[in-house]
Amino acid sequence: MESPHLRTVLLLAIVIWSFCRFYYYLFYVLERYLGKNRPYAGIFDALRFIVKKALITKYHQAMKHLLVPALVITTLLGLTGCPSIPDHPQATFSTQENNTIVHTYSKVVFPNKIGPFIRDGVRVYDQAGLDVSVAYHCPAPISITATVYSFPSPKLTSIGSPPDVIQVAREHLTANYFNDVKQEIVRVHPNAVEIQSRAISGPESTIGKYAEYKLRESFWGQIQDLGSRLYLFTYFKEKWTVEYRFTYPTSPDAEKAVDEFVKAYQWTTNSIEQKK
């Protein structure tokens, strides 16, 4: 020590004792008061939490001040007639001859009539217009509902991988999505019983899956035995999925009508060119 005197030793002892008492007091307060509802790892953990809480409080106060102007601006925009996003933007589809529509991005074709089925409505599920569906129905007395979906396939990132490796990865992603869809069907229709589930061939090197169900529930206003079919084709043009779903009363005529739809439906743009 530079100053080996009794006074220096006493002062140093007082400083050490004071620091220990202060540190003990901090932990006492931390345990009995600050940490009563939330345990802390130490003093710095408590300080970090207090600072973070203060910043969050300031953020919420700032958002409250911005909320009223935002609501006013939104209301004014609505009153001035700013256009909202339409249910099916014109750019999402193009119209071909015989009132056939084509999805602009996937080039999937949706004819006005497929076998005994007539096209009903169009739905767009995202603002970009990448995820769409088209509804069809088979008129009475059979009354079958069908929906055809077109949307991006599960994403696959591959840099320099050989084609067989890419194909295996696509089949794996398709199987996972197929299982997710089947779980969704059972969740929405708890009494649905799977009859069969298998791989099928698809057009233009797509990966095809098929599942069939039977169930009993209300359909067109009455409780009856129903059949349900799911057709899935992934990686059309390497990045698009096409999916059909059918619900119909259990009868040979209904099954025949569904078979006609599947056989007659050619959803590639090549099918339009071939017919010309």
Q: What's the rounded Cα separation, in Å, for the pair 217 and 186?
A: 13
The number of CA neighbours under 13 Å toward the Cβ of 107 is: 11
Closest CA to 129 of 90, 157, 97, 98: 90
- Number of neighbouring beta carbons within 10 Å of residue 109: 20
3-state secondary structure at position 223: strand
Q: Which fold has domain 90-275?
A: Protein Transport Mog1p; Chain A (3.40.1000)
Q: What's the rounded Cα separation, in Å, for the pair 36 and 24?
A: 17
Closest CA to 189 of 233, 132, 227, 236: 227
Omega prior to 203 cis, within 30 of 0: no
Helix (H), strand (E) at residue 219:
strand 207-219
- Number of neighbouring beta carbons within 10 Å of residue 160: 5
The first and second tokens of residue 164, run together, are 């067989």
pLDDT per position in the chain (276 positions), as tens?
A: 566 667 777 877 887 877 776 766 665 665 555 544 555 555 666 666 565 555 545 544 544 444 445 444 444 434 444 334 344 455 899 998 889 999 999 999 999 999 899 999 899 999 899 999 999 998 877 789 999 999 999 988 777 778 888 899 999 999 999 999 999 999 999 999 999 999 999 887 899 999 999 999 998 888 999 999 999 999 999 999 999 999 999 999 999 999 999 999 988 765 433 333
CA–CA distance from 161 to each of 155, 164, 235, 236, 240 (Å)? Answer: 15, 8, 17, 19, 20
Helix (H), strand (E) at residue 207:
strand 207-219
The first and second tokens of residue 73, run together, are 């601006």
CA–CA distance from 265 to each of 119, 142, 274 (Å)? Answer: 12, 19, 14
